[in-house]
Amino acid sequence: MRFQVSQVMDAIEQRLTTDVAGAQAVVDLGEIVRNVELDRGRSANLVRVGMVIDALGRYLVDDGALLYGVAERSLLSEPALTSKERMVLGRWTDQGLIEVTPTIGDRVVEVADLTGLPLIVTRPYPDLVKRFGWLADGDGRVLQLTFRAGVAALRPMDDPTGEPAGAPVTGSGPAVGRAKVPRPEPATAEPAESAPETESESEPESEPVRSLPLPVEVFGARGAARIARTRVSWRRFRRAEPSHPGLLLREWRCEGFECPAFGEQRRIGQPVPRMRGDVPVCPRHDEPVVAVGPRLPAYPVSIVVDDLPRRRLVVRGGQPVRIGRAVGDGAGDGSGDGAGDGAGDAGAEGDQPEELVSVARWLHEAAAARVSLVHLQLAAADDGLVVTDVSENGSIIWMRDRPDDPGTTRPLHGDTCTLGEWDSVELYTGIELVRGDRRVAAALGRDGLGSVLMDAPTAVHKQV
């Protein structure tokens, strides 16, 4: 398979972040780039990062999964990389999309420990188990990257079955795979098995849901009729508790010149400092960082289309985000030129411009007629995610008390509300915004997950 490398790199770039609020897993980039076993190719290849992102997306059933990458400084001058790849690595570093340290040491494990993020590895770390006991406690925080059937896959390193994520459910394996899920009965009773089968009718019959051995919680589908669901353990979507939560509650500043991690010009949320004893330091400059105040509230948000997350963004305090049909960030038509109605333009100098995130690429004709150019405004407050409807036709709030609550609805039109922990807001049937840190289950419809490798070129958008 031939790839247009620059387009693949652009697609990978959109799925990298060092913002701890948005990241969903952490990995040592050098370990991946130099892992020949992944593709039997040259000794170092930056495209392998895309293989990990695709594997993470399949594992989380999330088309917008974001990866926190850590690289040793020597990787930027790796002679086995092409000049184009080295240039791209330099750009990712300067933009703060990846973290670069003088030596990798235990940094990638430390990031996972300080933030609670899952750790993606190709090998175990027995020498660090004494310091980081969770590396061996079997709670699924360590994800092993494997290569099977031509694709990279992730599975918990303590998985007794040895099956990659997404494998069919068998008699005693973990609750991962495809299984039929009973849907709520409609108002007029219909036969339970009246829905047509999927195109993969030749697949063996899945086990009944009641036989799954791990706790599983699922939201009911409300968009296009779901035929098959992907059942996964709640553990997969929940971040572990950070070991030093105080580090994540402060805003840090590094005195290094134009530091991409903790400098004044950083636009996205910050990474986590490195710890030297009890002193937080900048991982790039190895100098102490200074706390400059409390970190503003931030909430990850997923744009969910027909029950499948398609894009992940972060709403931060003081930086409202607008959602709508207008092509404000290039995400609507793939042009990347930011063309639209001007709704995404920055305000006067000194003001915080409102980001405009477009859902146009996922709208069919009927949906496009109902979703406004600017439909919703999202803002982060101390008490939660605040949603303001500014549309012509209004939105729907789905209110839930718990993950397995089917929910009740109320309209939102020209008004503001604060989303509850498990609430979501629907722009149109099948187009929904949910808290990215409160998702416990997923559904796969006829349109499956994308790939940063196979689907490049992709729509271009800024990271929010």
What pLDDT, in 10s, does the model give residues 409-443? 999 999 999 999 899 999 999 999 999 988 655 55
Reported confidence tier of residue 463, pLDDT bands at 50, 70, 90: low
Residues 268/212, Cβ–Cβ less than 8 Å: no
If you average pLDDT over every residue of the chain, what do you get?
80
Residues 74/103, Cβ–Cβ less than 8 Å: no
Which CATH number describes the domain made up of 5-156?
3.40.50.11980
**Average pLDDT over every residue of 313-323:** 95
Cα(174)–Cα(168) distance, integer angstroms: 10
What pLDDT is stored for residue 159 in this prediction? 55
pLDDT at 235 over 50: yes
Reported confidence tier of residue 166, pLDDT bands at 50, 70, 90: very low
Domain extent listing, the chain = 5-156, 298-435
> What is the pTM for the complete model shown?
0.80
- Please name the residues in contact with 23: beta carbons below 8 A apart, sequence gap of 6 or more: 17, 66, 67, 68, 115, 117
> In percent, how much of the chain has pLDDT > 70?
72
Cα(368)–Cα(280) distance, integer angstroms: 48
Q: What is the CATH architecture of 298-435?
A: Sandwich (2.60)
pLDDT at 117 over 50: yes
Report the DSSP beta bridge partners of residue 301.
Answer: 313, 435
**SS3 of residue 3 by DSSP:** coil
- Per-residue model confidence as pLDDT tens digits over 71-108: 999 999 999 999 999 999 999 999 999 999 999 999 99
Taking every pair of Cα atoms in the chain, the longest distance, rounded to a whole number of angstroms, is 67
Reported confidence tier of residue 220, pLDDT bands at 50, 70, 90: very low
- Per-residue model confidence as pLDDT tens digits over 124-150: 999 999 999 999 987 889 999 998 777
Residues 219/184, Cβ–Cβ less than 8 Å: no
What pLDDT is stored for residue 165 in this prediction? 43
* Structural tokens at position 339: 């063309």
pLDDT at 212 over 80: no
Residues 442/234, Cβ–Cβ less than 8 Å: no
pLDDT at 400 over 50: yes
pLDDT at 170 over 60: no
Looking at per-residue confidence, does 452 or 186 come out higher?
452
- Per-residue model confidence as pLDDT tens digits over 38-57: 888 899 999 999 999 999 99
- Please name the residues in contact with 455: beta carbons below 8 A apart, sequence gap of 6 or more: 11
Candidate from 29-38, 332-341, 370-379, 410-419 with smallest mean pLDDT = 332-341
Rg for the chain, CA atoms, rounded = 22
Looking at per-residue confidence, does 171 or 42 come out higher?
42
pLDDT at 189 over 70: no
